[in-house]
Amino acid sequence: MFMLGNTKMGSASSFSKFCLTLLLLVDVLGSTNAQLSTNFYSKSCPNLLSIVKSTVTSAINKEARMGASLLRLFFHDCFVNGCDGSVLLDDTSSFTGEKNANPNRNSARGFDVVDNIKSAVENVCPGVVSCADILAIAARDSVEILGGPKWAVKLGRRDARSASQSAANNGIPPPTSNLNRLTSRFNALGLSTRDLVALSGAHTIGQARCTSFRARIYNESNIDASFAQTRQRNCPRTTGSGDNNLAPLDIQTPTSFDNNYFKNLISQRGLLHSDQQLFNGGSTDSIVRGYGNSPSSFNSDFVAAMIKMGDISPLTGSRGEIRKNCRRVN
């Protein structure tokens, strides 16, 4: 009798534990698999999109290059442990973030604009909108304001509490990359070769530093001679001389989001080594040709690739946090 009673109690206890485990499992799965959605803040912060748009518009009106800088920040965020706002964290005495990693040092910019957006959003919806989502919206707005396509941004990301300088150094393809390296890095993040070419079209806006393209304009043969000479005027051969002098990634329309980047590649006027690799007798030549001939084809593929990139390893549910200040964890 006593043993039977114990067995019954044991069964009840086991069943309770099983139910608790199941609940915890459902909770964990719910928090990790929560889906991003385009209307995530429709109730909690209904004016979010107009607030971001007006701040981005104002920043681009002051400096057209800022659109490219904000778009680039989103790339550099997503390519390092997913789209989690980690690129925005400042270094501290006890923490080394991504801002001084090789791909970002002296070149990543737009952090003040993100601060302005965050401040404006916090005034209206305190503690609701993540910095990671602000970056995703600002990237979309930048493209649209500069004449490119518009799309509905999926939202619901949360912010990382950490960052990784080594992951940034290893995860963001440098401008010296060849096609194999570019393809394999994009593929590792679930992005196809077509996504690679479409996303590279972001180089239809923005500027690059002399140090990023010096080797190409002096040493490479798959480059239009007059284009190389034009670029050499503002980028001396000697390392250390004029390293930070800028040149447009698209020599034709550097502040308009269009398909001229691809036309430049076809005429061997890609500024970076990694750009020209996309049209250099390899597997991506036909895609570049297609985008050079059809702006609508480029736009639709760019939008699809941006949405796909925005889906890379987001923190959702109960993971991460909603930072009060994009530069530091709460």
Question: Would you say 85 and 159 are in contact if contact means Cβ atoms under 8 Å apart?
Answer: yes
**Cα dihedral across residues 7, 13, 19, 25: positive or negative:** negative
178-214 pLDDT, tens digit per residue, is: 999 999 999 999 999 999 999 999 999 999 999 999 9
Q: Binding residue per annotation — 311?
A: no
pLDDT higher than threshold 90 for residue 74: yes
pLDDT higher than threshold 90 for residue 9: no
Alpha helix locations (H) across 103-224?
111-124, 131-145, 165-171, 179-188, 193-200, 210-219
CA separation for the pair 217, 272 (Å, rounded): 9
Q: Binding residue per annotation — 115?
A: no
**In the block, residue with structure tokens 């190389």:** 228
Q: Binding residue per annotation — 86?
A: yes
Question: Would you say 278 and 284 are in contact if contact means Cβ atoms under 8 Å apart?
Answer: yes
Question: Would you say 257 and 298 are in contact if contact means Cβ atoms under 8 Å apart?
Answer: no
Lowest mean pLDDT among 22-31, 70-79, 100-109, 120-129: 22-31
Residue 141, classified by CB atoms within 10 Å of its CB into exposed (0-12), middle (13-18) or buried (19+), is buried
Average pLDDT score, the chain: 92
Q: Binding residue per annotation — 273?
A: no
154-184 pLDDT, tens digit per residue, is: 999 999 999 999 999 999 999 999 999 999 9
Q: Which residues are known catalytic residues?
A: 76
248-266 pLDDT, tens digit per residue, is: 999 999 999 999 999 999 9
Q: Binding residue per annotation — 80?
A: yes
Structural domain boundaries in the chain: 47-171, 179-309
**Cα dihedral across residues 193, 195, 200, 204: positive or negative:** positive
Q: Candidates 1.10.520.10, 1.10.3290.10, 3.40.50.720, 3.40.80.10; correct CATH number of 47-171? A: 1.10.520.10
Which residues, listed in sequence order, are joined to residue 325 by a DSSP beta bridge? 328
Is 179-309 a CATH 2.60.40.730 domain?
no
Largest CA distance in the chain: 98
